[in-house]
A and B are shown apart, each in its own frame.
Chain A
Amino acid sequence: MEPFIWTGGLYKHEEFEELVEDMGGYILQKNVLQSDVIMVILVPNADIPVIEAKNKELLGKLVKAPLAGAEVAVITPTLAYQHLPHLACDIAEYLRRSGSKTNMIGLARGVGRRVAQLTAKEIDLINEHDAALFLYGNFKDCIIEKTKLFRDIEVPIVVTGGPALQTSEVPGCEAYIGGLGRVMHRLRQKEETEIMDRIVAAIGKVLDERRAEFDKDQLSVSPPRLKAEIEKQVPDIQDVISPTPVTLNLNGARIKLDYEKYKDVIGDVKFDEGIYLREVCDIKPSRMKDFILLRIKPKSETGFVI
């Protein structure tokens, strides 16, 4: 399936939505902004021309979303004005425009060189994402010193910083992209946009590698299907005001409902094949608020793929 972002008017957008669903695609996220609609969708490769034709008819805009269906953490040493807002927010927004669900994480004790550290909660929270993007500073020495923060992080890490370094010089990361560093102005220049494109490409690459990793031992159910079934069978999800009540990960989802109250309801979601959700997923409390975290079991564990 191919991910896209569709932007169009409210008028007749249901036709587009229904077409995507009829073809076996999925609506990953839908935002209605007054008279505009922005949807992140997954479309089966064979049906892309049909979708493109419908888009033309509705005068919408259809662009590829390389990061769709993944959750990326954008991590700054703190949330203070040394690091925010310009650089971090501009990058986070740029990633969102490529379809990812982006969360910004400001560390509690991420500042300095020798004194920098991650708390246990931060490590768990970052590990719930599909990739982590660390925004580091201007000095080569400090960037290399601060790679000690990566020690317990299990998801792929992408780092940005000021100096032009090779990825091999920065231990523990999958990709290093130089040229940004600590920037105190909006990223509007052409060169800065190009660097952000490189960040998107790097994250896209690590996500592809991660997908390939999961494909070696296939997931028992695909995350978009999980989302579709939960939305169909758990009516309370409609009352959640968050823009993505079910946030997709590459190997699961985060459901923005109270863990204690809803874990059994979620576990009882039944697929058409007669299988319950609790059989194919680990249901765990998320480190984010009191949400529910789902991790899909691989085929080797369940013995089947639905």
Chain B
Amino acid sequence: MSDIAAGDLTMEPLEVFTVDSEDEEGAEKYKEVITDILMDLNLVRAIGRLKVYVDPKAPVFIIVGLFRPGLARLTLGDVADISSVNEGLLVSVREEQYSSKAIGRLWSKYGRENLVQTDRAAVIVPVKGDFEKQLDDVSAIVVYDPQEELKKNVIDALLRITPEGFRVRKHFIDQHMLAFIASEDPIKPEWLEICRNLRSSIGA
């Protein structure tokens, strides 16, 4: 897999997906398990490359993966109409599904007692100081971050995929990649080495 350049993030869903093990029959079966779980959690399109290494004799389970670049974040400016009224800024959320989250974010930013809620999906934010700056501030509040959701689902998937008895775990997860080692026994340095090799082989 040396032809995969590091940092190259234009990839197909699951363009690399392998399960390596000495027990080839078991590896084949495990591939099915992982496909089923990724499909259940709607993660197939979110993951670009995935490599798994299982050694039942050690025993150790290692999984590394690369995310595909996801959807953009949604800000309050995207989902709400913001207009100026006498009391301040009237934020009226257009998209029903984000209304409670958007208002929640405003509450936590400005304090519940400082806001006037005129409607189920509309609040007035009092203006303090520079109007332009505050307009930008309010518009920039993130109401939905697909990466966050994705992260939650990926962690859920990892826990479902890993053999249940492997309770000693070491993991790393960020915006672009994930790495996960699980075993019954304390994690050995050579497993970390295998994990590192797998990571470099998928360009992470």
A: which residues have CB within 8 A of B? 77-78, 80-83, 111-116, 137-142, 162-164, 181-185
Which single member of A83, A141, A183, A184 contacts B57 (CB below 8 Å)? A141
At the interface with chain A, which of B24-32, B72-80, B99-107?
Answer: B24-32
Contact B30 A116 (CB under 8 A): no
* A140 and B23 contact, Cβ closer than 8 Å, known pairs A111-B164, A115-B165, A184-B37: yes
Residue of B nearest to A184 (CB): B36
Expressed in whole angstroms, the Cα–Cα distance for A116 and B167 within the complex equals: 12
Is B59 an interface residue, CB under 8 A from the partner?
yes
Contact B29 A82 (CB under 8 A): no
Most buried by B among A81, A116, A139, A141: A139
Interface positions, chain B 158-173, Cβ under 8 Å from A, are 160, 163-167
Which single member of A113, A162, A185 contacts B26 (CB below 8 Å)? A162
Could you write out 14 A-B pairs with CB less than 8 Å apart? A77-B165, A82-B160, A112-B167, A113-B165, A113-B184, A137-B163, A138-B33, A139-B26, A140-B25, A140-B26, A162-B29, A163-B29, A181-B29, A184-B40
- B160 — which chain A residues lie within 8 A by C-beta? 81-82, 184
Shortest Cβ gap from B56 to chain A (Å): 4
Shortest Cβ gap from B20 to chain A (Å): 13
Contact A112 B25 (CB under 8 A): no
Is B54 an interface residue, CB under 8 A from the partner?
yes
Contact with A along B38-67 (1 / 0, CB 8 A): 001000000000000010110100000000
Most buried by A among B56, B57, B185: B56
Most buried by A among B21, B57, B163: B163
Shortest Cβ gap from B41 to chain A (Å): 11
Shortest Cβ gap from A73 to chain B (Å): 20
Which single member of B37, B54, B164, B166 contacts A139 (CB below 8 Å)? B54
* A112 and B26 contact, Cβ closer than 8 Å, known pairs A138-B33, A139-B56, A184-B36: no
Expressed in whole angstroms, the Cα–Cα distance for A244 and B56 within the complex equals: 42
Mostly, the A contact residues are loop
- A139 — which chain B residues lie within 8 A by C-beta? 21, 23, 26, 54, 56
Expressed in whole angstroms, the Cα–Cα distance for A70 and B75 within the complex equals: 62
- B164 — which chain A residues lie within 8 A by C-beta? 77-78, 80, 82-83, 111-112
- B59 — which chain A residues lie within 8 A by C-beta? 113-114, 142
Most buried by B among A114, A138, A162: A138
- B57 — which chain A residues lie within 8 A by C-beta? 141
Which single member of B26, B36, B37, B184 contacts A138 (CB below 8 Å)? B26
- A138 — which chain B residues lie within 8 A by C-beta? 23, 25-26, 29-30, 33
* A182 and B33 contact, Cβ closer than 8 Å, known pairs A83-B164, A112-B184, A139-B56: yes
* A141 and B29 contact, Cβ closer than 8 Å, known pairs A81-B160, A113-B184: no
Expressed in whole angstroms, the Cα–Cα distance for A114 and B56 within the complex equals: 11
- A113 — which chain B residues lie within 8 A by C-beta? 56, 59, 165, 184
Residue of A nearest to B160 (CB): A81
Contact A111 B26 (CB under 8 A): no
Which single member of A111, A182, A183, A184 contacts B165 (CB below 8 Å)? A111
- A83 — which chain B residues lie within 8 A by C-beta? 164
- B25 — which chain A residues lie within 8 A by C-beta? 138, 140, 162-164
- B36 — which chain A residues lie within 8 A by C-beta? 183-185
Given A113-B59, A139-B23, 7 more A-B residue pairs with CB atoms under 8 Å apart are A78-B164, A82-B163, A112-B166, A163-B25, A163-B29, A182-B29, A184-B33
* A115 and B26 contact, Cβ closer than 8 Å, known pairs A82-B164, A137-B163, A139-B54: no
- B23 — which chain A residues lie within 8 A by C-beta? 138-141, 163
- A181 — which chain B residues lie within 8 A by C-beta? 26, 29
